[in-house]
Amino acid sequence: MHRTELVSALVYHPRSNGANGRVGAYSVATSTDGVTFAAPVATGTWRDDDTVKTATFTRAASARFVRLTATGEAGGRGPWSSAGEIRLSGPSSPAVHGSWGRITGFPLVPVATAALPGDKLLAWSAYAVDRFGGSNGYTQTAILDLKTGKVTQRRIDNTGHDMFCPGIAMLADGRVLVTGGSNAEKASIYDPATDAWSATTSMNIARGYQAMTLLSTGEAFVLGGSWSGSTGTDKAGEVWSPDTRTWRTLPGVPAAPALTADPAGPYRADNHMWLHATSGGKVLQLGPSKQMNWISTSGQGGITPAGTRADSQDAMTGNAVAYDIGKLLTLGGSPAYQDSPATRRAYTVGISGNQVQAARTGDMEHARAFSNSVVLPDGKVAVFGGQAYPVPFSDATSVLTPELWDPATGTFTPLATMAVPRNYHSVANLLPDGRIFSGGGGLCGDCATNHADGAIFTPPYLLNADGTPKPRPAITAGVPPRAAPGASLTVSTQGPVASFVLMRAAAATHSTDNDQRRVPVVSTAAGGGTYHVSVPADTGVVLPGTYMLFALDAQGVPSIGQFVTIS
């Protein structure tokens, strides 16, 4: 490279005019003088296809020379190797671009995930670990222990529920409600306190690919989902009560006003809606249809127009993230679920009472469909993966460079390159230590795009320019297991902090995470490293459920989050 640089990944483009010479097994090593090379910083095997490959290093290396060694040809056609192009990527500063940890293998493709107390991540696929189909009455699940890195697998039979392509809502008491999917009428609940699954009352309307959110009332709302269940019927809204464990229909909330103009009709047009719960049991449906709608869930329910999302078109396969109180960011998507170009556009949506205002913010560098977005404790939003042209079960046109949106500037900054494409059936979740899990993709049987793995991304706010961890504030006491809306917490910290924020524990599937919510909270210093932290009283602001309380220093560096259930 003619000078010493910090390098974190090598990108390999196979030849485009034939299969011969595609590199299969490989290793990558670095050197400062071109003579002495250190132990490999990356090893592995690339698939025998013509897609772009990435080798992400186990550690960022300060090097002048980088050597790619082909130790075997893909397909066993050797002995020869070729390359259409080789590129190096490496942020000049991890403090600007962040860094990736090692790839962690999973016993299944994590198509759906939920962050849990106790440093656990729940994941599941379908009746099989690598494929879906039918209504088999059981689901393959796994739990990642974030402290040890150990992943354990279990098949869930007792609920009679194949939970592939479901709706998900994090309940007020910290449990996880999963509805529909392959067994389209079923509903199941996971309790992290007992590590047990149980069945609850089935829905009135069978659904798959539906949208869900918890309401300010503590009930759970579901809408859409024509991917499975009966065809030709409107998948109107219904609400689950935690008190009666039953569903009540909302005939006043049909799905039709929220449909996109997908050429496949309701089968695709009512999938994965973006829902944001507000006060009084109301919900703003802000996408993926360009038409936004207010939804009332009291009585028979009702749905009324809330305007269009500025000049946005329908954006199926995009997503929305609540990055502040009454403020959301929508990212990417495409006019149809598949086989239509994705967009680079992003929009902000502001809520003030019953008024909704949408505006275009800065564009992403890359067009993305099937990407995942995560809001960070400092209010920035990271977006991972996706395709420029959405095709399920394909890694073509993959975007391997994540981006970070800053609400202060409305602009996106590139982040450290990903090692594995994350497209259809991928997920991303904020973790209690302020890092992000990104994983999954595929679930297509004997195909080349099954990604039964994940990696943890360390955002820039945790790193110095040389890649070492920044000093972090710490919460030492004062966070109870449970607190009521409107409560005042007396929180002790190690050293001074500038602010506190509540981050809702969230669940993701199919690029959609309606549970995400960042709630900045008012705090006052009480002396001696003690702060009075005020929990908002409005359950439309702080939805009931489990949150992570973060303290941030003056530079925006977060503490490790402390779990508290607001209910």
In the block, residue with structure tokens 């110095």: 464
Query: HSE-up of 477 (CA within 13 Å, CB side)?
Result: 5
- Tally of CB atoms within 10 A around 402: 32
Spatial separation of the C-alpha atoms in residues 470 and 364, rounded to whole Å: 28
Q: Which two tokens stand for residue 457?
A: 């991304």
* Secondary structure E strands in 235-318: 238-240, 247-249, 274-277, 282-287, 291-296, 302-308
Spatial separation of the C-alpha atoms in residues 424 and 443, rounded to whole Å: 9
3-state per-residue secondary structure call for 399-438: CCCCEEEECCCCEEEECCCCCCCCCCCEEEEECCCCCEEE
Q: Which two tokens stand for residue 398?
A: 């993959």
Is 323 noted as a catalytic residue in this protein? no
Q: Is the peptide bond before 288 cis (omega within 30 degrees of 0)?
A: yes
Q: Which two tokens stand for residue 5?
A: 């640089």
Of 125, 77, 76, the closest CA to residue 425 belongs to: 125
Helix segments in 310-354, DSSP class H: none
- Catalytic pick among 26, 424, 461, 531: 424
Of 251, 398, 260, 240, the closest CA to residue 336 belongs to: 260
Rg (CA), the chain: 23
Spatial separation of the C-alpha atoms in residues 176 and 506, rounded to whole Å: 10
Name, in order, each residue with C-beta under 8 angstroms of 346's C-beta and a sequence gap of 6 or more: 329, 330, 331, 332, 360, 361, 362, 363, 364, 405, 412
Catalytically active residues, by annotation: 424
